[in-house]
Structure 1
Amino acid sequence: MTTPPTTDRLVLGCMGLGGPWDAESYTAADVEAAEHAVAAALDSGITTFDHADIYGRGKAEAVFGEVLSRDPSLRARIGIQSKCGIVLARGERPGLYDLRGASIVRRVEETLSRLRTDVLDTLLLHRPDPLADPEDVAEALHSLHAQGLVRRFGVSNMNAPQIARLQAHLSLPLAVDQLEMSLARRDWLEDGVLVNTPASAANGFPAGTVEHCLAHGVALQAWAPLAQGRFTGRQETAEEHATAALVTRLAEARDTTPETIVLWWLQRHPARIVPVIGTTSPTRIRACRDAATTEPRLTHEEWYELWITARGLPLP
């Protein structure tokens, strides 16, 4: 199989595929909706698709697998990443995390079956499991790679020490860390400028994580990068209204969309952050086209103006 692309500027998140999470199965309409979303992504220059085994309780992957089965040429033209490690609540049993090696292998096999493909381009460990043994995890990842079932690995929602601890047991480089990052969720950025200020202790973001990823070649992916539309149509606070107005003005000046400006703000960072847009609306996917196909066209001053307007306070 031809190795598909896995270095898009923008990734389509597939959490919304497969219909309601509480539905037992997906419908023909759900498959059609997935086909439209995939087509819009490809038309917009997006060729990497982000899954997790829990999305739609497995239906998101299954619907995507149906789309792949209808177009046998599609798999060679796209990259697919998925995540495992979260066990959803069921009945009286609470949700939990499970990164035991045997569980990782089993869940990857189940994901491949649902997706109707023989390989994942990237596997991310979805959440840190405090009980995980890094040697056991590494053994599972090495096995999946040796069998040709997964091409590369990464993590999600992990900090620098957690990444370093796992990497110490892996001969394969961890390629990705996926974190919530946006104009609304700025703690990852604030961490770097609040040093030696009283506000530093309240920030909460694990210090040094962005710098660790930059230093070790770990690509940063941003989930929820559009912040649920807070700056492109759904404002609640004074800061959001002011930022949305600025986003609109910059979009008009650049002859692009507000969605693109919000994504360019992330992409303009030296880490070259890759946003994972969670919409499955073809219209909104196409509104992100310029972020998928062009370099961010924001000046140094404009980037700061967006940040300061969104935070609602001057920098320290």
Structure 2
Amino acid sequence: MSSGLIYGCMGLGRWDGEALDAADRARAEAAVEAALAAGITRFDHADIYGHGTAEAVFGAVLAQAPGLRDRIQIQSKCGIRLGTADSPQMYDLRAHTVRARVHESLERLGTGHLDLLLLHRPDPLTPPEEIGAVLTALHDEGVVHAVGVSNMSAVQITALQRHTGPRLVANQLEMGLHRRAWLEGAVLVNTPASAEVGFPHGTVEHCRAEGIELQAWGALANGRFTGLPQDPGDEAVADLLRRLAEDQGTTPETVLLWWLQQHPAGVVPVIGTTSPERIASCSGAVDGSARLSHEEWYGLWVTARGGQLP
């Protein structure tokens, strides 16, 4: 897989249950064009995004751009079943469900295969033997070219890999300067605060050791550090990002993404904004070459956590 950035398509669809209209298609086309112009060629979906409309509108964009499918990589996720008036939200990785959801995604996207299929959340009720068997079958059939997971720990990945023929190549986790449990857990070992972190210790290290790509959803923190602060502490981070961006001749969004990319685990941020201008502001991180000093990187971390490291 290539490095750089992934464009997250969750915001392209409609969550209100209404049908897609011309404005939705125009917005999706503008976002995809901005991502391509920035050099992004990997696009992240899930069957539940916009209740399927994110994949559908992306498929409409593909249909209007002959040859585009051959120039990009498409990944999608399955495994979450949203709740209804008659059913609770649940996770469902049973073989027949995974197979059905993958083919539904392919139909909406208008493509014959997924470059990568991710399991969206663990399903504790379905045995890993069953999950691994359907992943292997879909891979062998050429329906999915690679398989991975999302929101799973090292132990869960190891258990699933025992029953899956193709290697699990990616794990998508919430990672960023705002959601730092993945990082805090690595330095709070043997401190009272360790129990408060909650992130499964060793997951990042396992993925790096096994060559499993770490994809970071929520990388831009919904803009809280780059224009949409949500608490007073955000302003201090925003100020530091602006100063670093000015020094480097780039944008605060790029510096924020550099912070993730600089980790030796090779984190690949997923950006989900639908604003063409904001997508363009991330273009300095597409090549994956972070340019922060050791001191600058730690300075952002300490500022975001609002206190010194132990």
- Name which of 179, 182, 188 aligns with 1:194: 188
Q: Which deviates more, 229-238 or 165-174?
A: 229-238
Residues 54 and 87, structure 1, Cα contact 8 Å, conserved in 2: yes
Counterpart AA for 1:7? S
Aligned to 2:269: 275
Could you tell me how far apart the structure 1 residues matched to 2:152 and 2:238 are?
30
Query: Does 2:202 align with 1:208?
Result: yes
Letter in structure 2 aligned against 1:110: E
Alignment of 1:152-191 (within 5 A): 152-191=146-185
Please tell me whether the aligned partners of residues 261 and 288 of structure 2 are also in contact (alpha carbons under 8 angstroms).
Answer: no
In 1, distance between residues paired with 2:233 and 2:309?
Answer: 15
One-letter amino acid matched to 2:309? L
Q: Secondary structure at the match of 2:300?
A: helix
User: TM-score, structure 1 length as denominator?
Assistant: 0.96
Q: Deviations over 1:161-193 (max 9, x none)?
A: 100000011121100000001101001000110
- Counterpart for residue 215 of structure 2: 221
Deviation larger for 218-227 or 289-298: 289-298
Q: List alignment gaps of at least 5 residues for structure 1.
A: 1-5
Aligned partner letter, 1:290: G
How far does residue 22 in structure 1 lie from its aligned partner after superposition?
1.6
User: Equivalents in 2 of 1:132, 1:288: separation in Å?
Assistant: 39
Supply the AA of the counterpart residue of 1:12: Y
Q: Deviations 1:256-294 (Å, cap 9, x if unpaired)?
A: 000001100000000110000011111110010001135
Q: Which runs of 5+ in 2 are unaligned?
A: none
The answer to whether residue 54 in structure 2 is matched with residue 60 in structure 1 is: yes
Structure 1 ranges of 4+ moved more than 6 A? none
Distance (whole Å) between structure 1 residues aligned to residue 186 and residue 248 of structure 2: 29
Other-structure match for 1:291: 285
Verify the 8 A CA contact 1:44 1:293 in the aligned structure 2.
Answer: no
Distance across 1 between alignment mates of 2:294 and 2:237 = 17
TM-aligned CA deviation for residue 240 of structure 1: 1.4
- Distance in 2 of aligned mates of 1:228 and 1:38: 19
Per-residue Cα deviation, 1:225-281 (whole angstroms, up to 9, x for no partner): 011111101223332111111000000000100000110000000011000001111
Give the alignment's Cα RMSD to 1 decimal. 1.0
CA deviations over 1:104-156 (Å, ceiling 9, x no partner): 01100000000000010000000010101111111111111111100001100
1:40 equivalent to 2:31? Answer: no
Match for 2:278: what amino acid?
R
Match for 2:12 among 17, 30, 33? 17
Are 2:240 and 2:300, in contact at CA under 8 Å, matched by a contact in 1? yes
Report the TM-score when normalising by structure 2. Answer: 0.98
What residue is the counterpart of 1:3 in the other structure?
Answer: none
Preserved CA contact (<8 Å) 1:8 1:46: no
CA-CA distance at 1:28 after TM superposition:
1.5
CA distance in 2, matches of 1:236, 1:112: 38
Q: 1: distance between equivalents of 2:53 and 2:232?
A: 39
Return the offset for 1:27.
Answer: 0.8
CA distance in 2, matches of 1:97, 1:189: 27
